[in-house]
Chains A and B, each alone.
Chain A
């Protein structure tokens, strides 16, 4: 078994933790090995073994041959304390510490005023399957978890936001929900993005939040479904967050079906996961993305997964654009400029011009958030700029709606449109993000077949 690499910074946000073990220490599954120095959570060993190296950013553990299922339990305490002790962070992407999301330090005044726990079960990034599989296998635990969180955060209601296409899973949920008046489900269309937290708030509550506002402004906490399960494990089983469900998919030997691995020890390498899935496709591949195709980042085989890694996607090979001028349209829903420039370089293109989607509001920390996720502000002006700058191609990272708008004028102007997710979508067998033919609204009745619009009839 390969060495396990526990990063001291497990989420995209926060500060690196400080190791509390030394080289040579024997550790067990669940042994606390690093504690926060600022915004962050406890890190526990995901295996039995020995600490063989501690570097600036990680603790490296050589696993024992024997790996019993038992783990070192966290101390008993209040539900909140156990979630904190277990080092639970949001598993939807950014890895924000969960206990901070649901508790504001005031004993007498919870974060919500009779508000909502909104569970993001949208599995928003295309091609992923581990979230829905988890709910499908054990919907009851999800509901228990929502109740725990409602109590801590001061919510009266829980809403599970799930895409309508997952009919079988929704039926299982519905069977349980008919006896649970405090929790309901909200059906989402199958478009990108639906899991962005303000999109979840808008879909479930009808409140459009400004980009700099948190869901708390709508009296809600948005929490990823897998995170809910981790909270239940912490509370009921005194289990620290040491393993993770992962979708591995794409250019893998044996086909492009999703490989869902449950309880993968945090710190496992990308390579180990790909080998477990069947190994890299021998015909070649483009890049390996850690995370989803929109918001993930290119990674190396030796990189370890963290508590908030959801997927490993292996993409198709890059075409060679032979230095052609490529315009970059940066939006908040897809890659940032750095990621887009990386893609252009991998395509062997030359960056011809950069535009930002009008709605990609820049936040004080330099990241961007969409003002109205999933609702396009118009893109033709950017296309005119790309054309004027002499771009032959453009690469976009936009949502379904904006991509559709780009397509309404780009190709007619002679711009060849590429989407940053194209190679991943081809690799997983998902339609490319181009035009939008489905409605952005779905009927909340599972039995109503939604109208699939044909938007080519009127031109």
Chain B
């Protein structure tokens, strides 16, 4: 497409290629030229050979064509009457060269990232997307929290390092009391005796009876010794937790059962899965990406609540809402038992979660885009109980507008996730309970997390831009130095995802985005602020492989994102990505960060670690 004078100036050192046929005698103007941004695609497909091409800067000073030439002809010396000499030295092609890492870690606890090498990150095959980041983010090596499985969410005590900027300030704290469950029995009464959870089986049908659309809700228990059980698509995975007394989410005490999770599944009467882009039905051991923040951990007991709903309601918002509400009737009864029957003697572990602020450090905000297209895409926000239903407002009904939360609310179950998009990239309710980005950012001594914003992804584009403009304004008012924007799923939601980044970016706030993109989810839109992206993909083929939570945001992604944002906030540019998705970019980024931080980053396994299902064999791998 023809370019403007401004674009021509930006690309003054790029080859001059005519966008259209131009006749002899034509004085060349920017309107005669093709946008250099698409040249790589053209060269790749053999449509363009740039050998001998003059640059835009050389031919935009009154050069005239001496021959009539067709579209996509590079301007060479033999077809213009005159041209300017090339400016200065040859443009260094180094931007694409192998990343250099000398990092020279700064010994002092100076928070400012030192200059260093570059990390290249690639996302999809789209344009305007990828990245290189400087890695010399020295300092802060000591207190780096490492283990993904680290149970403590508490901000690592920064006491040892009295920062010049001042001590970390604890804004609020809450306590999680863990109770061990090693046996679940379905029976006539809901109660907890020792480490055995009894669930009144009839509660499930009562929950179903109260929901017009739910025909039946049946519980069963799947134990670690037999995960090879067929399951309909998993709609959600929920921690079973309750607040002590009248404490609100994010404060006071939360009681949570360890070793057991609630797993919601659903189909219609006709047997259609409640899922939109793919569904995870199949044998659990073949379709569950164990250990992901949102998934079941290997060794946990699964309480499966399976619902059958009205035909055709699998793709309409009331269907999933009815299922979740019915299931919560069962969970609520367990919560009541936990409140009444559990005693402090039974506590196996106590965690104190603290929200810390780090005055003087770079202020960052975490924006999490959550699905709100209606259909089945919705989330309950701020229930009374962790991942409950009562007291919550669906974000669709809130108009998907941005809503602020504090990090402890997030990790105390303020999101009850209803969305049933691609199973591999969906963030389950449990994901928020263990949100890796919130966790890593809170533990990072170099940044000061001001809070978390949830923003819905509405269906209509006009609504998408409506909410992203509100988001931009909200972020502006926070006066932050940097922002993360995460999303789940891919495709439709990328429209607002990139718009969020634009709205924040254009206010001068550096942004790093997180999404599953890879091969199948390559960004469908983009803008100049989308230059720093972390790809959540873990699958071998870069696809939505229908393995539950496979491609969701993990600690390894959060760590890369933090390094990238710190680099961006320090004014470093991010190197453009490879043109086609390759794991190599992530691998080299990880390697660079490990060297720079002196920290080993444990990478999670992907679907290849699971037994190969017939579905995967047939459809994917």
Give the interface segment out of B18-26, B199-207, B306-314, B591-599: B18-26
Given A378-B34, A384-B41, A409-B47: A455 and B19 interface contact (C-beta under 8 Å): no
Chain B contacts for A413, CB-based, 8 A: 45, 47
Chain A contacts for B47, CB-based, 8 A: 380, 409, 412-413
- Report whether A380 and B67 are in contact in the complex, using a CB–CB cutoff of 8 Å: no
Cβ of A190 < 8 Å from any Cβ of B? no
Given A358-B1, A380-B34, A380-B47: A457 and B23 interface contact (C-beta under 8 Å): no
Q: How many angstroms between the C-alpha atoms of A457 and B2 in the bound complex?
A: 23
Q: How many angstroms between the C-alpha atoms of A457 and B68 in the bound complex?
A: 9
Shortest B521–chain A CB gap in Å is 14
Chain A contacts for B582, CB-based, 8 A: none
Nearest residue, chain B, Cβ from A357:
B1
Shortest A55–chain B CB gap in Å is 38
Chain A contacts for B24, CB-based, 8 A: 453
Given A378-B71, A380-B71: A453 and B42 interface contact (C-beta under 8 Å): no
Cβ of B46 < 8 Å from any Cβ of A? yes
Contact residue among A358, A381, A459 (Cβ-Cβ distance under 8 Å from B73): A459
Cβ of A458 < 8 Å from any Cβ of B? yes
By CB atoms of chain A within 10 A, which of B1, B19, B35, B71 has the most?
Answer: B71
Main secondary structure of the interface of B (DSSP, over half): loop
Nearest residue, chain B, Cβ from A400:
B21
Chain A contacts for B87, CB-based, 8 A: none
- Report whether B19 and A378 are in contact in the complex, using a CB–CB cutoff of 8 Å: yes
Nearest residue, chain B, Cβ from A378:
B19
Flag A141-159 by CB within 8 Å of B: 1 or 0 each: 0000000000000000000
Considering only residues 542-573 of chain B, those with a C-beta below 8 Å from chain A are none
Given A384-B41, A409-B47, A412-B47: A376 and B68 interface contact (C-beta under 8 Å): no
- Report whether A458 and B79 are in contact in the complex, using a CB–CB cutoff of 8 Å: yes
Chain B contacts for A439, CB-based, 8 A: 23, 68
Q: How many angstroms between the C-alpha atoms of A458 and B67 in the bound complex?
A: 8
- Report whether A376 and B73 are in contact in the complex, using a CB–CB cutoff of 8 Å: no
By CB atoms of chain A within 10 A, which of B20, B21, B23 has the most?
Answer: B21
By CB atoms of chain A within 10 A, which of B41, B45, B73 has the most?
Answer: B45
- Report whether A405 and B38 are in contact in the complex, using a CB–CB cutoff of 8 Å: no
Contact residue among B31, B42, B72 (Cβ-Cβ distance under 8 Å from A377): B31
Nearest residue, chain B, Cβ from A387:
B45
Q: How many angstroms between the C-alpha atoms of A408 and B18 in the bound complex?
A: 11
Q: How many angstroms between the C-alpha atoms of A255 and B21 in the bound complex?
A: 36
Flag A378-399 by CB within 8 Å of B: 1 or 0 each: 1111001001000000000000
- Report whether A401 and B20 are in contact in the complex, using a CB–CB cutoff of 8 Å: yes
- Report whether A458 and B73 are in contact in the complex, using a CB–CB cutoff of 8 Å: yes
Chain B contacts for A402, CB-based, 8 A: 20
Nearest residue, chain A, Cβ from B45:
A413
Q: How many angstroms between the C-alpha atoms of A405 and B21 in the bound complex?
A: 7
- Report whether B70 and A412 are in contact in the complex, using a CB–CB cutoff of 8 Å: no
Main secondary structure of the interface of A (DSSP, over half): loop
Shortest A175–chain B CB gap in Å is 32
Chain A contacts for B79, CB-based, 8 A: 458
- Report whether B21 and A455 are in contact in the complex, using a CB–CB cutoff of 8 Å: yes
Shortest A436–chain B CB gap in Å is 6
Chain B contacts for A412, CB-based, 8 A: 45-47
Chain B contacts for A458, CB-based, 8 A: 67-70, 73, 79
Considering only residues 391-440 of chain A, those with a C-beta below 8 Å from chain B are 401-402, 404-405, 408-409, 412-413, 436, 439-440
By CB atoms of chain A within 10 A, which of B23, B41, B70 has the most?
Answer: B70
Chain B contacts for A440, CB-based, 8 A: 23
- Report whether B69 and A455 are in contact in the complex, using a CB–CB cutoff of 8 Å: yes
- Report whether B20 and A378 are in contact in the complex, using a CB–CB cutoff of 8 Å: yes
Shortest A292–chain B CB gap in Å is 24
Shortest B1–chain A CB gap in Å is 4
- Report whether A404 and B71 are in contact in the complex, using a CB–CB cutoff of 8 Å: yes
Cβ of A441 < 8 Å from any Cβ of B? yes
Chain A contacts for B42, CB-based, 8 A: 380, 384, 409
Contact residue among B1, B45, B69, B70 (Cβ-Cβ distance under 8 Å from A381): B1
Which range contains the number of B residues in contact with the other chain?
Answer: 20 to 34
- Report whether B38 and A381 are in contact in the complex, using a CB–CB cutoff of 8 Å: yes
By CB atoms of chain A within 10 A, which of B20, B24, B69 has the most?
Answer: B20
Contact residue among A401, A409, A436 (Cβ-Cβ distance under 8 Å from B72): A409
Chain B contacts for A459, CB-based, 8 A: 69-70, 73
Nearest residue, chain B, Cβ from A454:
B68
Considering only residues 1-25 of chain B, those with a C-beta below 8 Å from chain A are 1-2, 19-21, 23-24
By CB atoms of chain B within 10 A, which of A380, A405, A436 has the most?
Answer: A380
Chain B contacts for A441, CB-based, 8 A: 23
Shortest B8–chain A CB gap in Å is 13
By CB atoms of chain B within 10 A, which of A375, A402, A456, A458 has the most?
Answer: A458
Given A384-B38, A413-B47, A453-B23: A377 and B2 interface contact (C-beta under 8 Å): yes
- Report whether B19 and A377 are in contact in the complex, using a CB–CB cutoff of 8 Å: yes
Q: How many angstroms between the C-alpha atoms of A440 and B24 in the bound complex?
A: 11
- Report whether A455 and B70 are in contact in the complex, using a CB–CB cutoff of 8 Å: yes
Shortest A276–chain B CB gap in Å is 41
Given A412-B47, A436-B21, A453-B23: A381 and B71 interface contact (C-beta under 8 Å): no
- Report whether B69 and A405 are in contact in the complex, using a CB–CB cutoff of 8 Å: no
Nearest residue, chain B, Cβ from A372:
B31
Shortest B76–chain A CB gap in Å is 9
Flag B597-616 by CB within 8 Å of A: 1 or 0 each: 00000000000000000000
Flag A235-257 by CB within 8 Å of B: 1 or 0 each: 00000000000000000000000
Q: How many angstroms between the C-alpha atoms of A455 and B47 in the bound complex?
A: 17
Chain A contacts for B31, CB-based, 8 A: 377
Q: How many angstroms between the C-alpha atoms of A453 and B24 in the bound complex?
A: 9
Nearest residue, chain A, Cβ from B79:
A458
- Report whether B1 and A378 are in contact in the complex, using a CB–CB cutoff of 8 Å: yes
Chain A contacts for B68, CB-based, 8 A: 439, 453, 455, 458
Given A409-B47, A455-B69, A459-B73: A380 and B19 interface contact (C-beta under 8 Å): yes
Considering only residues 32-59 of chain B, those with a C-beta below 8 Å from chain A are 34-35, 38, 41-42, 45-47
Given A404-B70, A408-B72, A458-B79: A380 and B38 interface contact (C-beta under 8 Å): yes
Given A384-B38, A453-B68: A405 and B23 interface contact (C-beta under 8 Å): no
Chain B contacts for A408, CB-based, 8 A: 21, 70-72
Chain B contacts for A377, CB-based, 8 A: 1-2, 19-20, 31
- Report whether A404 and B21 are in contact in the complex, using a CB–CB cutoff of 8 Å: yes
Shortest B17–chain A CB gap in Å is 9
Flag B54-84 by CB within 8 Å of A: 1 or 0 each: 0000000000000111111100000100000
Chain A contacts for B35, CB-based, 8 A: 378, 381
Considering only residues 193-229 of chain A, those with a C-beta below 8 Å from chain B are none
Given A358-B1, A380-B38, A384-B38: A409 and B23 interface contact (C-beta under 8 Å): no
Contact residue among B21, B67, B72 (Cβ-Cβ distance under 8 Å from A457): B67
Shortest B401–chain A CB gap in Å is 29
Q: How many angstroms between the C-alpha atoms of A436 and B31 in the bound complex?
A: 19
Flag B441-460 by CB within 8 Å of A: 1 or 0 each: 00000000000000000000
Q: How many angstroms between the C-alpha atoms of A375 and B21 in the bound complex?
A: 9
Shortest A449–chain B CB gap in Å is 16
- Report whether B2 and A358 are in contact in the complex, using a CB–CB cutoff of 8 Å: yes
- Report whether B45 and A378 are in contact in the complex, using a CB–CB cutoff of 8 Å: no
Nearest residue, chain A, Cβ from B37:
A381
- Report whether A409 and B67 are in contact in the complex, using a CB–CB cutoff of 8 Å: no
Chain B contacts for A375, CB-based, 8 A: 20
Besides A375-B20, A404-B20, 12 new A-B residue pairs in contact (Cβ under 8 A), listed by A number: A358-B2, A378-B71, A380-B72, A387-B45, A404-B21, A405-B21, A412-B47, A436-B21, A453-B23, A453-B68, A455-B69, A459-B73
- Interchain Cβ contacts under 8 Å between A and B, 8 examples: A375-B20, A408-B71, A409-B72, A413-B47, A455-B69, A458-B67, A458-B70, A459-B73
Question: When A and B form their complex, which 10 residue pairs have the shortest distance between CB atoms, in order from nearest?
Answer: A378-B19, A408-B71, A376-B20, A377-B2, A405-B71, A453-B68, A378-B1, A458-B69, A405-B20, A358-B1
Mark B residues whose CB is within 8 Å of A.
Answer: 1-2, 19-21, 23-24, 31, 34-35, 38, 41-42, 45-47, 67-73, 79
